[in-house]
Structure 1
Amino acid sequence: MDKARNTQAYIDRVAKFIEFAFTHSARGNAILCPCRKCLNCCWFEASDVYEHLLYHGFISGYKRWIYHGEASSSLASDSDHDPVQLDDVQEENDLDNYDEMFEMIQDMAHLIGDLGDSGGGEDPIHEDVEPGSVDPLLERKKKHEADAFRQFIADDDEELYPGCTTFSKLCFVVRLLHTKSLGGWSDKSFDMMLELLK
């Protein structure tokens, strides 16, 4: 959707998109947000997606609704619904094949819970540790994992380079590794490409 975001036409198209998206969403009250910051990777409710799309705009080249958490066959097999045409162009976008990495990160964050909590107690691996006490090795390991996870999340908020609005540091690395995987690049060719980019 390449229209200027300050026009009524853009605002109307966003409202139409939101209405369609939430009618066909797999999660009912949330969809993957196609704004430039979220890149179809984060689940949000209608008001948040609307705000993101007005503030950040759609992903560059975003042309039609596809892969927002709906079952893979739901749009293809449902002859009553055609994907929303955000522009007259019917091009597939490489971002349509959304990477589930960010959903996995969110799931991982829920599993980890409170990153600062390192309580001892009922850990079968550390049965010799008194309940309520903290095993120093376990404490250091949990702190290291929590710090690494926090850095991982911080990389998602960090621009790839000053002024870059297309990719966060994390998103670029994930996309680069995804491209390596899809292209069948050897480690050597990947390392050579990284050396060239320096």
Structure 2
Amino acid sequence: MDREWIRNPNRVSREYLNGISEFLKTASKHVNAEGYTKCPCQNCNNCRLKSLREIQQDLGRYGMSFNYTTWTHHGERLRTVSSCSNSSRFPIFG
């Protein structure tokens, strides 16, 4: 599933609610001992620890932070892209 749902202004749409569900499944694997993890809503912006239930409510109320498309605070790794697709195309002179 892509992350376009994050920008959907209709927070009761099937797309948005499915996106929240997908996020909560990922986040549930990254809670602390008390059951809290960072809340990525536009209000908290990954600066507050909350329960999954509170996060679900916040995502419905405030929406997901628009720039949080790689869930690094919830276990995802940043994707790295090589700047050189084929280094053999350019000979090295020395």
Q: TM-score range by the shorter chain?
A: 0.5 to 0.7
Q: What is the deviation of 1:67? A: 2.3
Q: Which amino acid aligns with 1:63?
A: T
Q: Which has the higher contact order (CA 8 A, sep 6+)?
A: 2
Structure 2 residue 59 is matched with structure 1 residue 53? yes
Deviating beyond 6 angstroms after TM superposition, the runs of 4 or more aligned structure 1 residues are: none
Instruction: Tell me the number of residue pairs that the alignment of Structure 1 and Structure 2 aligns.
Output: 71
Structure 2 residue 21 is matched with structure 1 residue 9? no
In terms of fraction of residues, the more strand-rich structure is: 2
In the TM superposition, 1:18-37 aligns within 5 A as 18-25=24-31, 27-28=32-33, 29-37=35-43
**What's the TM-score, normalizing by structure 1?**
0.33
In terms of fraction of residues, the more helix-rich structure is: 1
Q: Which digits, 9 at most, give the CA deviation of each residue in 1:54-83, with x for residues without a partner?
A: 110011222121125xxxxxx5xxxxxxx2
CA RMSD in angstroms, aligned pairs only: 1.9
Q: List alignment gaps of at least 5 residues for structure 1.
A: 69-74, 76-82, 85-89, 91-198
Identity of aligned residues (%): 23
The secondary structure found in structure 2 opposite 1:63 is: coil
In the other structure, the counterpart of 1:154 is none
In the TM superposition, 1:1-198 aligns within 5 A as 1-4=6-9, 5-25=11-31, 27-28=32-33, 29-68=35-74, 75=75, 83=76
Q: Which amino acid aligns with 1:57?
A: G
Aligned 8 A contact 2:38 2:48 in 1:
yes
The secondary structure found in structure 2 opposite 1:22 is: helix
**What's the TM-score, normalizing by structure 2?**
0.66
Q: What is the deviation of 1:6? A: 2.5
Aligned 8 A contact 2:42 2:65 in 1:
yes
